[in-house]
């Protein structure tokens, strides 16, 4: 009998020792089987050995075994609760959930359209130039043959840098013509895409910041026919072979003669007297152009007796509106993804 009592104590110690190391529901189950298992559990063995005791001793030891069983059962339940609380704390990862998709960026429609224009000119042998967005009065106006205080300046609503009346945000890409001709001698055949700025209140057809592309060709024997041929092939590539193109006489201080170039309305094809895009005229104005004024060539020390050139300037955003048939230029800059995504596949 003492022997059995000793065994009961040993089993309790053994259980406590093993219980300390339980870290998972599986280990807990192993421990339960080890002690309470019906066939080979330690407690079952203890109960079996009751047979060897006298009828008086049996109930005494039986009671002790029962207490150990209760103790083990309640400890197992306690450990079970602790393990459950533990798993609730550590978030579990469900590897079958779909992953987080990181949205891909894409070029802005105006950037893509600019690249399209660049590609057409690359194929005609032009290269691409760049210039500063903050300009001096000299490059933006004076070297382009706008005399100081000349009323033609009023056509370009200029944003000046505060406290610096010689510095301004360029109102057109034309100053880069001057910079390019100062840097190198003819033959010159370049386009200059870039941002320009004007003091405008935003509305469907005006923005204080927009893009232009400038073109400049200077060489021996350049005539108006070169200007016309270049712009016609460019516009037919950009819009369609079928558009009609017309040149109207105009005025710019830096070109003589000057022209404005219209194409037949891409929206109503000249057939809708109420068309909102061409206002029923059948034509839309697309760019300004002309033969580089000899005075401009002199300003950069190119001999106008020897060389001649042509230049042109076109609004990129404005032209994109006609190509994509967008009625409000501001849509390009409102960053509404529903608008921008429409250009992804084009």
Is 193 near ligand DAH (CB under 6 A)? no
Contacts with 309 (C-beta within 8 Å, 6 or more apart), sequence order: 186, 188, 216, 217, 218, 219, 222, 291, 292, 297
Q: With the C-alpha atoms ordered 51, 55, 56, 60, is the resulting torsion angle positive or negative? A: positive
Shortest distance (Å) from residue 242 CB to ligand DAH: 26
Is 255 near ligand DAH (CB under 6 A)? yes
Q: Select the residue interacting with ligand DAH from 175, 193, 194, 290 (CB under 6 A).
A: 290
Nearest of 88, 86, 85, 83 to residue 28 by alpha carbon: 83
CA separation for the pair 47, 56 (Å, rounded): 15
Q: Which residue has the tokens 């987080």?
A: 100
Determine the 3-state secondary structure of 193 from DSSP.
strand
Is 313 near ligand DAH (CB under 6 A)? yes
Is 252 near ligand DAH (CB under 6 A)? yes
Is 261 near ligand DAH (CB under 6 A)? no
Backbone φ and ψ for 134, nearest 5 degrees, come out as: -95, 120
Is 227 near ligand DAH (CB under 6 A)? no
Q: Select the residue interacting with ligand DAH from 135, 214, 262, 317 (CB under 6 A).
A: 214
Determine the 3-state secondary structure of 150 from DSSP.
coil
Shortest distance (Å) from residue 206 CB to ligand DAH: 13
Is 289 near ligand DAH (CB under 6 A)? yes
Shortest distance (Å) from residue 192 CB to ligand DAH: 9
Shortest distance (Å) from residue 252 CB to ligand DAH: 4
Q: Per CB under 6 A, which of residues 159..188 are in contact with ligand DAH?
A: 172, 174
Nearest to ligand DAH of 4, 286 (CB atom): 286
Is 211 near ligand DAH (CB under 6 A)? no
Number of H helices, E strands in the chain: 11, 10
Q: Which residues of 200-226 are buried (b: 16+ CB within 10 A; e: fewer)?
A: eeeeeeebeebbbbbbbbbeeebeeeb
Plot region of 341 (φ>0 → left; ψ -120 to 50 → alpha; else → beta) = alpha
Contacts with 274 (C-beta within 8 Å, 6 or more apart), sequence order: 280
Shortest distance (Å) from residue 207 CB to ligand DAH: 14
Shortest distance (Å) from residue 288 CB to ligand DAH: 3
CB atoms within 10 A of CB 195: 14
Q: Point out which span in 87-95, 231-239, 285-293, 318-326 binds ligand DAH (CB under 6 A).
A: 285-293
Q: Point out which span in 77-85, 274-282, 284-292, 317-325 binds ligand DAH (CB under 6 A).
A: 284-292
Nearest of 234, 200, 204 to residue 217 by alpha carbon: 234
Nearest to ligand DAH of 61, 314 (CB atom): 314
Q: Point out which span in 228-236, 273-281, 287-295, 338-346 binds ligand DAH (CB under 6 A).
A: 287-295
Residues contacting ligand DAH: total by CB under 6 A: 11
Is 210 near ligand DAH (CB under 6 A)? no
Shortest distance (Å) from residue 102 CB to ligand DAH: 41
Q: Which residues of 314-330 are buried (b: 16+ CB within 10 A; e: fewer)?
A: bbbbbbbbbeeebeebe
Q: Report the chain's C-alpha Rg in angstroms.
A: 43
Nearest to ligand DAH of 247, 343 (CB atom): 247
Is 312 near ligand DAH (CB under 6 A)? yes
Binding site for ligand DAH (CB under 6 A): 172, 174, 214, 252, 255, 288-290, 311-313
């Amino acid at each position: 009998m003492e022997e059995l009592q000793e065994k009961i104590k040993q089993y309790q110690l053994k259980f406590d020792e093993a219980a300390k190391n339980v870290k998972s529901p599986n280990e807990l189950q192993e421990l339960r089987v080890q002690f309470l298992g019906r066939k080979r559990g330690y407690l079952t063995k203890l109960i079996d050995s009751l047979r060897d005791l006298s009828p008086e001793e049996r109930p005494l030891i039986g009671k002790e075994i029962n207490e150990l069983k209760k103790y083990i059962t309640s400890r197992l339940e306690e450990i079970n609760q602790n393990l459950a609380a533990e798993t609730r704390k550590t978030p579990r990862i469900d590897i079958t959930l779909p992953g987080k998709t990181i949205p891909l960026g894409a070029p802005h429609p105006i950037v893509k359209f600019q690249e399209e224009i660049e590609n057409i000119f690359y194929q005609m042998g032009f290269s691409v130039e760049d210039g500063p967005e903050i300009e001096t009065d000299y490059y933006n106006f004076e070297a382009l043959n706008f005399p100081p205080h000349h009323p033609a300046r009023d056509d370009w609503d200029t944003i000046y840098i505060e406290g610096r009346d010689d510095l301004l945000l360029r109102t057109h890409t034309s100053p880069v013509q001057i910079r390019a001709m100062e840097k190198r001698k003819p033959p010159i055949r370049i386009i200059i895409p870039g941002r320009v700025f004007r003091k405008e209140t935003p509305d469907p057809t005006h923005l204080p910041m927009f893009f232009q592309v400038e073109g400049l060709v200077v060489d021996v024997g350049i005539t108006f026919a070169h200007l016309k041929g270049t712009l016609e092939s460019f516009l037919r590539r950009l819009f369609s072979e079928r558009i009609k193109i017309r040149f109207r006489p105009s005025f710019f201080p830096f070109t003589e003669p000057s022209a404005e170039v219209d194409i037949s309305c891409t929206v109503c094809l000249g057939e809708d007297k109420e068309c909102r895009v061409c206002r029923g005229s059948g034509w839309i104005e697309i760019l300004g152009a002309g033969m580089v004024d000899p005075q401009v060539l002199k300003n950069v020390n190119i001999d106008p007796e020897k060389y001649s050139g042509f230049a042109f300037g076109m609004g990129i955003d404005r032209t994109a509106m006609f190509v994509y048939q967008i009625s409000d230029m501001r849509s390009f800059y409102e960053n509404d993804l529903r608008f921008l995504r429409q250009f992804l596949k084009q």
